[in-house]
Structure 1
Amino acid sequence: MKANMRLSVVVQTKNAAKTLEKALQSVAFADELIVVDMESSDATREIALKFTDNVVSTKDVGYVEPARNKAIEKASGEWILLLDADEEISVSLGEKIETLVATESDVSCYFLPRKNIIFGNWVKDTGWWPDFQPRLFRAGTVTWKDEIHSRPLINGKTDKLPSDESLAIIHHNYSTVSEYIDRLNRYTSITAKFDSKEKSVTTAGLISSYRSELLRRLFLQGGIDGGYRSVLLSFLQANYELVVSAKKWEIAGRPEDDSTSITEMEKFNSELAYWIADWHTKKDGLFRKLFWKIRRKLRV
Structure 2
Amino acid sequence: MILTEKQRMTALIITYNEEENIRDVLYNLAFADEIIIVDSFSVDKTYEIASSFPNVKVVQRAFDNFASQRNFALSLASNSWILFVDADERLTQELQKEISFVTSQKDCASAYFVRRNFMFKNKKLRFSGWQTDKIIRLFKKENAIYNDEKIVHEKLIVNGKIGQLKTKLIHYSYSNYENYKQKMVFYGKLKAQEELLKNTNPNFFHFYIRPAYQFLNQYLLRLGILDGKKGVIICYLNALSVAVRFQELKKIRCRN
Same fold (TM over 0.5): yes
Matched with 1:183 is 183
**Counterpart for residue 257 of structure 1:** none
Please give the alpha-carbon distance, in whole angstroms, between the structure 2 residues aligned to 1:139 and 1:196: 30
- Residue of structure 1 in register with 2:155 after alignment: 151
Specify the alignment match of 1:73 in structure 2: 75
Question: How many Å apart are 1:171 and its aligned residue?
Answer: 1.6
Question: TM-score, length-normalised on structure 1?
Answer: 0.77
Q: Offset at 1:199?
A: 0.6
Q: Output one character per residue of 1:172-221: Cα deviation in whole Å (capped at 9) or x when no partner.
A: 21211111222222222222133123211111232331232122101221
Q: Which runs of 5+ in 1 are unaligned?
A: 255-300
Change (3 A) 1:211 1:55: same
Give 1:202's aligned residue. 203
Higher mean displacement: 179-188 or 11-20: 179-188
CA deviations over 1:213-268 (Å, ceiling 9, x no partner): 122101221112221111221122122212212222222229xxxxxxxxxxxxxx
- Evaluate the alpha carbon distance shift between residue 98 and residue 208 of structure 1 in structure 2; reply closer, same or farther with a 3 A threshold: same
Q: Which amino acid aligns with 1:44?
A: T
Higher relative contact order (CA 8 A, sep 6+): 2
Distance 1:4 1:110 in 2: 17
Letter in 2 for 1:199: T
Pair member with larger Rg: 1
For structure 2, the 5+ residue unaligned runs are none
Output aligned runs, 1:42-191, within 5 Å: 42-51=44-53, 52-61=55-64, 63-146=65-148, 147-162=151-166, 167-191=167-191
Q: What displacement does 1:106 show?
A: 4.2
Change (3 A) 1:107 1:171: same
What's the C-alpha RMSD, in Å, of the aligned pairs? Answer: 2.0
For 1:227 and 1:53, the matched residues in 2 are separated by 41
- Percent identity of the aligned residues? 28
Match of 1:11 in 2: 13
CA contact (8 A) 1:5 1:31 kept: no
Change (3 A) 1:239 1:42: closer
Contact 1:5 1:76 in 2 (8 A): no
Amino acid of the residue matched to residue 157 of structure 2? L
Q: What is the letter of the counterpart of residue 220 of structure 1?
A: L
Specify whether residues 56 and 5 from structure 1 end up closer, same or farther in structure 2 by C-alpha distance, changes over 3 A only. Answer: farther
Q: Is the 8 A contact 1:113 1:129 kept in 2?
A: no
Q: Deviations over 1:145-192 (max 9, x none)?
A: 331223221111101123xxxx22222212111112222222222221
- The aligned length equals 247
TM-score (norm 2): 0.89
* Residues 2-56 of structure 1: CA deviation (Å, up to 9, x unaligned): x976211111111111110100001111111111111112221222223335211
CA deviation profile, 1:126-155 (whole Å, cap 9, x unmatched): 122341110000121221133122322111
The one-letter code of the counterpart of 1:180 is: Y
